[in-house]
Amino acid sequence: MSEVLDPRIAKRLKRDTAGLFPAIAQQYDTGEVLMLGYMDDEALRRTLTTGRCTYFSRSRQEYWVKGETSGHVQLVKSVALDCDGDTVLVKVDQLGGACHTGGRTCFDADVLLAGE
């Protein structure tokens, strides 16, 4: 297993001042948006090489693998970089809830506008 992110991928990434970029987790078969986390080069490398989503916690300043303690894992199906190189979309098979509250998605608690 490589110890650094592929330089061809790293070159395309646009990071914030802390070296992070957003990572959107989406259920691969339904398109349901599950959560938004943050990654850096190392978190992305781990995600690509292990098949499990690894994020970087901005509050704890450490890496965490989704489901490592809860059992609600994200099995990676595909990873794509957006056209600007500043966000990744990780299509996953979510086992259990994606939200830290236990909910399936982080985007169902506070609907600001509901379409008809």
Query: pLDDT tens for residues 16-30?
Result: 999 999 999 999 999
Q: What are phi and psi of 86, to 5 degrees?
A: -115, 5
Nearest to 99 by CA among 75, 116, 74: 74
Helix or strand (DSSP H, E) at 15: none
Measure CA of the first residue to CA of the last residue in the chain; give whole Å.
Answer: 49
User: Percent helix, strand, coil in the chain (nearest 5)?
Assistant: 15, 35, 55
| Residue 94 exposed, middle or buried by CB count within 10 Å (0-12, 13-18, 19+) | buried
Query: What gap in Å lies between CA 92 and CA 25, rounded to an integer?
Result: 7
Domain boundary assignment for the chain: 7-94
Q: Work out the pLDDT band at 2, boundaries 50, 70, 90.
A: low
pLDDT tens, residue by residue, 66-100: 999 999 999 999 999 999 999 999 999 999 999 98
Predicted model pTM = 0.92
In terms of CATH, what superfamily is 7-94? Phosphoribosyl-AMP cyclohydrolase (3.10.20.810)
Most confident range (mean pLDDT) of 12-16, 96-100, 108-112 is 12-16
pLDDT tens digits for range 43-75: 999 999 999 999 999 999 999 999 999 999 999
